[in-house]
Amino acid sequence: MSSYDVARYAFARALFDCGAVQVIPAGLAMNLRATTHPKTPGPLHAGDVKYAANCMRHLQIEAFPEFGRLKGTDAVTPVINAGTPFARELAGLCGVQYFEFEEFECGSLRSIAGTNHTIPPGVERVLVVDDSIETGKKAVQTCSFLKEQHVEVVGVIVLIEMMRGGREALAELGYGLSSVFMQKELADFYVNAGILDPLPTDEGGFLPDLALFGPR
């Protein structure tokens, strides 16, 4: 088992221990928000966030060893707000710049309308970070906004991929997705660890009972 696999399975266990993953009658529910979330704080403390970012760093280095650090990346930016602590920590671990967007809400609608400050000088290639991805709507919005700013998105990286169309939505626009865990991988880990009974899947291997809970 590689050092990356050791790190991510230890992180999966940490998610359960801190309450970010909970066993419910239907299967699993997840809350990947950090305690620093500006609207609805979650269970992940600073150490958990650092562990998550380290898994992301391992994933990028092992997937693209020729780049040495982060796939030729100049900076890291999050999908606001859920991806913010992980992106900031990942940038710090890898010695690249960090910047973020402002998100504006109007009723139930959210949009990216600007940045907290200008994109740092010299930044041409950016890695986008989020805690998880389902349909990919917010990740697509973030990537599209970066393109409008004439910045290349080298990829999107998340902790959990829910397999609900996000990868395909990004691929249609030419963006690659990397995930520390696919939803079935994470469920299989908990089954093998004796935390969870096996979950039924449909013909496509989807786990309808594995869901995110709480506002993001």
Look at 40-49, 62-71, 133-142 and tell me which has the smallest mean pLDDT: 62-71
pTM of the model: 0.86
CA atoms within 13 A on the CB side of 149: 24
> CB neighbours (10 Å) of residue 176?
14
Report the CATH number that the domain containing residue 150 is assigned in CATH.
Answer: 3.40.50.2020
What mean pLDDT do residues 106-116 have?
51
Is pLDDT at 64 greater than 70 in this prediction? no
Is pLDDT at 211 greater than 50 in this prediction? no
The three-class DSSP label of residue 62 is: helix
Is pLDDT at 181 greater than 50 in this prediction? yes
What mean pLDDT do residues 54-64 have?
77
Q: What is the pLDDT of residue 200?
A: 63
Record the tokens describing residue 104, joined without a space.
């504006």
How far apart CA 201 and CA 27 sit, in angstroms, is 11
Q: Nearest Cα to 141, choosing from 168, 103, 107?
A: 103
CA-CA-CA-CA torsion sign (113, 123, 121, 91): positive
| Residue 186, C-beta contacts closer than 8 angstroms, at least 6 positions apart | 12, 21, 28, 160, 210
Look at 157-166, 182-191, 203-212 and tell me which has the smallest mean pLDDT: 203-212
What mean pLDDT do residues 186-204 have?
76
Query: What's the domain count of the chain?
Result: 1
Does residue 187 contact residue 199 with C-beta atoms inside 8 Å? Answer: yes
Mean pLDDT across the chain = 81
Q: What is the pLDDT of residue 67?
A: 43
136 or 208: which leads in pLDDT: 136
166 or 6: which leads in pLDDT: 166
Range(s) of the domain holding residue 174: 3-212
How far apart CA 109 and CA 62 sit, in angstroms, is 37
What mean pLDDT do residues 2-16 have?
87
